Amino acid sequence: MSEATDVPKEIMVRGFRLMVLGRTADERGVNLQRQGRIGFYVPMNGQEAAQVGCGLALEEKDWIVPAYREIGVALSRGIPLKTLFDQFYGNSSDVLKGRQMPCHYGYRDYRYVTASSPVGTQIILAAGLAQASVYRGEKVVSVPFFGDGATSSSDFHAGMNFAGVYNLPVLFFCQNNGWAISLPREKQTRSSSLAEKAEAYGFRGVQVDGNDFSAVYKVVRDARAQALAGKGPTLIEAVTFRMGPHSTSDDPTRYRKQETVASWKAKDPIEHLREQLLAKGWITEEGIEQVQEEAKREVQSAIDAAEKAPPPEPTTLFDDVFRDRPKLLEEQRSEFMELLKEGVLRP
């Protein structure tokens, strides 16, 4: 398993702030769903170092192709917290106009591709993006994020094989969090690691401690440099653990022992980075408290703003399908508006 080397102070401090912010937002996201204020949420609790470490190792021009758990990656890319909470609520400020499930967001301006629920589909999208970037002469990488369960999908094979054959600049970032919903890693494959699967496709696989921010950052930076030097893709297996449920529709106590959860809690990635920063003298206990309080305020501010925004206008249902709405769609829109005015339909 790859080990960390020196990472600049500003990167480590920024990483700590983002990890704390991500967990704070994550915990509130779960609570909001339990309170009935949003409909669905997919937590990342325990995977902060893997997500933020990878996100900060990339450049703004690189393509991110997420699954639905990557709030840490989104924050690392600079997507505002309010923008994310607007999507969780599906309000009128939501860029996606309330059309996607919560946590299934995407933002073109940030080169952050919209997430979808089917397992593994983002892997082939990332391979295609990488090939397009090569054709255009762009010096960028594409990074699909997926879990251990996706390595059993046909899209994993197709994307890995395609990237290997064409030597594409793709960093396949697998967050091996131990569980594909309720299926444990040991029932997923007989391979001794997931990283070794890369060998079958003709390129490098690296396993890294996904709870060590510095180690993840260094591995991703190295893999990115190799990809842009024409040395092809890398499969990165970040070994971590999902501390909470797969989603707010899941009950992990039905398939997971509490002893296992407790053993991983002792490896908390935020605590690990906190101890590193204190040991280096790069942050103080007072500074840590300030980071935590700032995160709480920022999250609360984003929630307050999202809850004040009204729902999307019902007529946006007819937008964005055609550049110029055809006659039939205009007629349907007019009929829809009449029904709204008559009270037959309610927003």
DSSP string, 141-201: -EEEEEEGGGGGSHHHHHHHHHHHHTT--BEEEEEE-SEETTEEGGGT-SSS-SGGGGGGG
Calpha distance 338→333 (Å, rounded): 9
Does residue 1 contact residue 207 with C-beta atoms inside 8 Å? Answer: yes
- 108, 246, 272, 274: the catalytic one is 246
Which residue among the candidates 23, 255, 272, 274 is catalytic per the annotation?
Answer: 255
Domains of the chain: 9-311 (3.40.50.970), 313-347 (no CATH)
Distances (CA, A) of 90 to 102, 322, 328: 7, 22, 28
- Kindly report the number of other CB atoms within 10 A of residue 89's CB atom: 21
217 is catalytic: no
Residue type (1 letter), 244: G
Category of 41 on φ-ψ map: left (φ > 0), alpha (ψ -120 to 50) or beta? beta
3-state secondary structure of 238: strand
pLDDT reported for residue 5: 56
Percent of the residues in the chain that have a pLDDT greater than 90, as a whole number: 94
Give the Å distances, CA to CA, from 178 to 17, 106, 219, 263, 286: 26, 26, 20, 13, 35
89 given a catalytic annotation: no
Residue 242 annotated as catalytic: yes
Residue 2: predicted pLDDT: 47
Q: Please provide the distance, in angstroms rounded to a whole number, between the alpha carbons at the two ends of the chain.
A: 54
Q: What is the per-residue pLDDT for 200?
A: 96
pLDDT of residue 41: 97
Please list the ranges in the chain whose pLDDT falls under 50: 2-4
